[in-house]
Chains A and B, each alone.
Chain A
Amino acid sequence: MLTKALLENLSKNLGLNYLRRGGDTLFKMFSRNDNNVNKSKEVAKERLKLVLVHDRANVSPQFLEMIKGDIIGVINDYIEVDEDGFEITMTKTKREQDDSMVPALVANIPIRRMKNRKK
């Protein structure tokens, strides 16, 4: 870690950009772009997939608000929930059968306290 920081500092100060660009395999190890996950095309692909889940599902923020309101209405009889902390989003998840990505509606509902069911 120290070596990496030193090298980066050194190359920056000396204007030796080729050090960071990784002309040499040794220096390539310190190059940020070398990590597959961080390649910008992977970032683009993931961001695109997520945005398309929303687009294709045709989910507007208003629509999600409506769902949120209804869910709160239903569970309010049993549980007191923290409405400000209530989060609902469209995302994607891995399907167990074949590991393919499928859209998912994920709700995070913080509970304040359970209500007494026997009224």
Chain B
Amino acid sequence: MGEVIVITSGKGGVGKTTTAANIGTALTLLGKKVVIVDADIGLRNLDVVMGLENRIVYDIVDVTEGICRLKQALIKDKRYEGLFLLPAAQTKDKTSVNPKQMHDLCKKLSDEFDYVLIDCPAGIEQGFKNAIAGADKAIVVTAPEISAVRDADRIIGLLEANELNNPLLIINKVRIDMVNKGDMMDIEDMIDILSIKLLGVIPDDQSIVISTNRGEPAVTDDSSLAGHAYRNIAERIIGNEVPFLDLNVDEGFIRKFVKKLGFKLS
């Protein structure tokens, strides 16, 4: 019996889809069987981020409406053993699926897979309710901006109201050079304010843009710092203790990090 994890944020553009694709891929690299479900019906994007856009025949709405069997709609990623995508419908809207259907779908998938990752749409309406319906656990993605943290706080409240307790936090798009200058909120401050457990910190890394351009998750790029951070998160999800990349203690790392960002900024 696998675990169903919803990846959510409230605010759009903080990196839910990128996070879903990277954690999913990283989990398969650790030998797990994973399906990533795109719950953003009407705004399908996980397929392009994963580079599987040309292989879609059926989608999630076809499954819930009984037009095809679940197995027919699952797209196998041939590059990574054990990685599957269940794409969203592009021409329907959020109301084409209801929470009960999502719950049943997640149950069926968790019989087959070690991990079922749900890429939740932005917002707190029907799409969000669908995405969390079958989840056992939740990951909240945020960024060091007031708007993103505020929305994360609201989402944490809504998750807890729906009995998804103890969500885990991923802070994405961190620019340590700006943090050190005092122009970006500290990781500690954000954890303190949101008071949930930290799962990982992802640096704002141009390798994410490049890997998304190519449709290959950053976790497969050994030189990508963000990819490294996502691989660590996958380790933590399967229960391995991986120390956090403490940006302010590890001198060697921080230099490498600042240099990397420095190149990008100048």
Contacts and interface: CB of A to CB of B under 8 A. Distances in A.
B150 A41 contact: no
Interface string A28-42: 000001001001111
B149 interface: yes
Contact of B182 (A41, A51, A55, A56): A41
Interface residues of B, number: 16
B157 A33 contact: no
Given A48-B146, A48-B193, A49-B193, A55 B154 contact: yes
A41 B149 CA distance: 13
Q: Is the interface of A mostly helix, strand, loop or mixed?
A: helix
Contacts of A55: 150, 153-154
Nearest to A33: B182
Contacts of A39: 182-183
A36 B186 CA distance: 14
Most chain A CB within a 10 A radius of its CB, from B179, B182, B189, B193: B182
Contacts of B149: 48
Contacts of B164: none
Nearest to B179: A41
A40 B193 CA distance: 17
Contacts of A36: 182
B150 A51 contact: yes
A99 to B, nearest CB: 15
B184 interface: yes
Contact of B183 (A41, A48, A52): A41
B70 interface: no
Interface string B173-195: 00000010111111001000100
Contact of A48 (B150, B179, B181): B150
Contacts of B153: 52, 55-56
A45 interface: yes
A45 B181 CA distance: 15
Contacts of B146: 44, 47-48, 51
Given A45-B189, A47-B146, A40 B154 contact: no
Interface string B181-220: 1111110010001000000000000000000000000000
A52 B193 contact: yes
A45 to B, nearest CB: 5
A48 B184 CA distance: 13
Most chain A CB within a 10 A radius of its CB, from B146, B154, B184: B146
A41 B186 contact: yes
Interface string A84-96: 0000000000000
Nearest to B183: A40
Contacts of B145: 44
26 contacts: A33-B182, A33-B183, A36-B182, A39-B182, A40-B182, A40-B184, A41-B179, A41-B184, A41-B186, A42-B182, A44-B145, A44-B185, A47-B146, A48-B146, A48-B150, A48-B193, A49-B193, A51-B146, A51-B150, A52-B150, A52-B153, A52-B193, A55-B153, A55-B154, A56-B153, A56-B157
Interface of A: 33, 36, 39-42, 44-45, 47-49, 51-52, 55-56
7 smallest CB-CB distances across A and B, nearest first, come from: A39-B182, A48-B146, A40-B183, A41-B185, A41-B182, A44-B146, A45-B189
